[in-house]
A and B are shown apart, each in its own frame.
Chain A
Amino acid sequence: GESVGLHLPTLSVQEGDNSIINCAYSNSASDYFIWYKQESGKGPQFIIDIRSNMDKRQGQRVTVLLNKTVKHLSLQIAATQPGDSAVYFCAENIDDKIIFGKGTRLHILP
Chain B
Amino acid sequence: NAGVTQTPKFQVLKTGQSMTLQCAQDMNHEYMSWYRQDPGMGLRLIHYSVGAGITDQGEVPNGYNVSRSTTEDFPLRLLSAAPSQTSVYFCASSYTSTGGTEAFFGQGTRLTVV
Contact = CB atoms under 8 A, between A and B. Distances in A.
27 contacts: A31-B98, A42-B107, A42-B108, A43-B4, A43-B106, A43-B107, A44-B43, A44-B90, A45-B105, A46-B103, A46-B104, A49-B99, A51-B98, A89-B43, A93-B98, A93-B99, A96-B48, A96-B50, A96-B56, A97-B48, A97-B58, A98-B33, A99-B59, A100-B42, A100-B44, A100-B45, A103-B41
Interface residues of B, number: 26
Interface of A: 2, 31-32, 34, 42-46, 49, 51, 89, 93, 96-103
Contacts of A100: 35, 42-45
Given A46-B102, A49-B99, A89 B107 contact: no
Given A96-B56, A98-B33, A34 B103 contact: yes
A79 to B, nearest CB: 23
Chain A interface main SS type: strand
Interface string B85-106: 0000010100001110011111
